[in-house]
Amino acid sequence: MNRLIAAGLMFGNLIEISSPALVERYNRALKHLTGKTTKLTDFHIDISGYSPEIGDELGDPIYLNPNGANRQFILLTTSQKTAPLLNMKFSTSRGILMQFIEANEAQLFALTARDAVCGELQGSVYEVSAPARLLEMKQVTVEADTIGGHVADAERLAGQINRFRQEPDGWRDDVLIAEMIALARKTGDVTRVPISLPAMTFQQPNFWTSHFGGIYVFQDVAFPGVIASLPRESLGAMPISPVMDMTRRNQIAEWLDRNGLVEPIVQARGLDAAAVLRQKMDFILVEAAEALGLEIGDARRTELRKIAYRLGDALPDEFLGLASLLRWVEGQGPWPRITSEHACYFYTLRAAPGKDRDLVNMLLSELAPMDVRQMFITHKELFYAHYARWSERKRQWVAGFLEREYKVDAQGARAALFGPEPSMDARDRPAPRPARDVGPVVGPWGASGGRR
């Protein structure tokens, strides 16, 4: 992984902590949450305050998330909102933390100027011993305070001030006045500079979790469902139907279509479909060359074209399907009939606009794993797992491609491939399609005989 780290493709955008004051605050927070401390004098943290260096030091990569269900966090600066989330257990966690920081940025800026802020993403369950428990995690509440309890003290002081003002003999209550003075020394004048950090609750009916091999839960759609990376039988009884695994390609395709969650890339607004198809075909050729032990040189398109000639009728079905679609896009061939039974089917789709866009693209990256660019952008945990199994030759090429073609304009690349960032407004969700008898095979290609 050192190549990815050096290229800024792993552990990128982490926040450096090297100030003795911040290190001391972090240690106080770490002691408060876990009972442990670090001896490191400089390290990096993600949006939740997790540090990979401290994880290595403690031999515990989940020291801020011991049960895997209710992630704890340490905020030293509001700049953490731009950092990634490492060791992600739930796909919603980073978005929730970012919204919490942005909604309370002024208060957090003031609080972190004097102390570390600690908190927890509290789900509705405390452990996930069985897959069925995941469906009970429909919301997450974020509560936080400084190590010194400034928020709680400010609330207590505000209550005492109200009591002092309302009680006729409040000015004679020496005990009350003494308590107010003591609290004010810690909080400052809360009548002029209020301190408030209210608990915030976020809904998460649709999410991915790394538990049980990786599971996608969709409850807030017209036709709910669960999709697992492992065989569906391994999940046991689930209080939702259908329950699918990645081998149920036709069923997943029909379910995605019924819920209006995907769109063909050739129909996506503002997308250069031909360029995207060519790049996907390049990725597939690299994988084919890797499997056969063929030299790919610098894997430029001219080199990959030579590999395609060498493979001839041994070209992967994924490549041939996308090639037929590219010919149609460029006006050089008929409309191809590509159904969900075709190996290239999920390579021809992207998530439809809506609040679940990123989650659906994450799912598609598992169903179309040779598209390494989409996998890196939408599902880094899966990408790093695949990267660890690749040959040194493929690792070098993929890292070089991402550094050269993606990292220089990551935001622009995301927008070009997947469209604008989704709105949090549920009204932006695409309308689901009515249930219908589609048979065992579905797809955007089989129902039409010509251009759309």
Q: What is the pLDDT of residues 429-441, one digit of tens each?
A: 444 444 433 334 5
Chosen domain end from 61, 95, 128: 128
- Return the pLDDT at 448: 36
Quote the distance between the C-alpha of residue 373 and its chain's center: 15
Q: How many distinct structural domains can be found in the chain?
A: 2
Domain membership of residue 385 (yes or no) is yes
Q: Residue 39: pLDDT above 70?
A: yes
Q: How far apart are CA 370 and CA 236, in angstroms?
A: 30
Residues 6+ apart with CB under 8 A from 332: none
Domain membership of residue 247 (yes or no) is no
Strand-pairing partners, residue 145, are: 118
Residue 278 Cα distances to 64, 216, 326, 330, 411, angstroms: 42, 29, 8, 12, 21
- Other beta carbons within 10 Å of 244: 18
- Return the pLDDT at 188: 62
Burial class (CB in 10 A: 0-12, 13-18, 19+), 434: exposed
Q: Examine the domain organization and report whether 410 and 267 are in the same domain.
A: yes
Least confident of 307-316, 374-383, 439-448: 439-448
Q: Examine the domain organization and report whether 124 and 268 are in the same domain.
A: no
Q: How far apart are CA 262 and CA 273, in angstroms?
A: 15
Q: Kindly report the pTM of this predicted structure.
A: 0.85
Average pLDDT estimate for 381-405: 91
Q: How far apart are CA 53 and CA 15, in angstroms?
A: 12
Largest CA distance in the chain: 95
Q: What is the pLDDT of residues 164-186, one digit of tens each?
A: 677 776 666 666 667 756 766 66
Structure tokens at 199: 């608990």
Structure tokens at 159: 């209550």
What DSSP assignment string belongs to 169-232? TGGG-HHHHHHHHHHHHHH--TTTS------EEEE-SEEEE-GGG-EEEE-SSSS-EEEESS-G
Residues 6+ apart with CB under 8 A from 76: 15, 17, 22, 25, 26, 45, 49, 112, 116
- Return the pLDDT at 429: 44
Domain hosting 31: range is 2-128
Q: What is the pLDDT of residues 143-169, one digit of tens each?
A: 888 776 656 666 665 666 567 677 776
Least confident of 13-27, 70-84, 122-136: 122-136
Q: How far apart are CA 203 and CA 220, in angstroms?
A: 10
In 291-446, the DSSP E strands lie at 349-351
- Return the pLDDT at 411: 86
- Residue 378, by phi and psi: left (phi above 0), alpha (psi -120 to 50) or beta? alpha
Chosen domain end from 128, 158, 178: 128
> Of 116, 151, 119, 148, which Cα lies nearest the Cα of 22?
116
- Return the pLDDT at 149: 65
- Return the pLDDT at 446: 38
Max avg pLDDT among 107-121, 244-258, 282-296: 244-258
Chosen domain end from 81, 100, 128: 128
Model confidence at 192, in pLDDT bands (50, 70, 90)? low
Q: Examine the domain organization and report whether 414 and 269 are in the same domain.
A: yes
Domain membership of residue 440 (yes or no) is no
Parallel, antiparallel or unpaired: strands 200-203 and 206-209: unpaired
- Return the pLDDT at 438: 35
Query: Please, are residues 216 and 359 in contact by the beta-carbon 8 Å criterion?
Result: yes
Q: How far apart are CA 28 and CA 16, in angstroms?
A: 18
- Return the pLDDT at 155: 62
Domain membership of residue 333 (yes or no) is yes
Q: What is the pLDDT of residues 68-85, one digit of tens each?
A: 888 999 999 999 999 999
Residue 255 Cα distances to 107, 138, 204, 215, angstroms: 44, 21, 20, 16
> Of 275, 303, 278, 274, which Cα lies nearest the Cα of 289?
303
Q: Residue 189: pLDDT above 90?
A: no
Model confidence at 195, in pLDDT bands (50, 70, 90)? low
> Of 279, 277, 299, which Cα lies nearest the Cα of 290?
299
- Provide φ and ψ at 54, rounded to 5°: -70, -35
Q: Which helix (H) or strand (E) holds 410?
A: helix 410-418
Give 214-265 as a 3 state SS string: CEEEECCCCCCEEEECCCHHHHCCCCCCCEEECCCHHHHHHHHHHCCCEEEH
Residue 372 Cα distances to 195, 369, 376, 389, angstroms: 46, 7, 6, 13
Q: Residue 447: pLDDT above 60?
A: no
> Of 387, 393, 359, which Cα lies nearest the Cα of 373?
387
Domain membership of residue 297 (yes or no) is yes
pLDDT mean across residues, the chain? 84
Domain membership of residue 200 (yes or no) is no
DSSP state of 45: E
Q: What percent of the chain has pLDDT over 90?
A: 54
Domain membership of residue 84 (yes or no) is yes
Domain membership of residue 147 (yes or no) is no
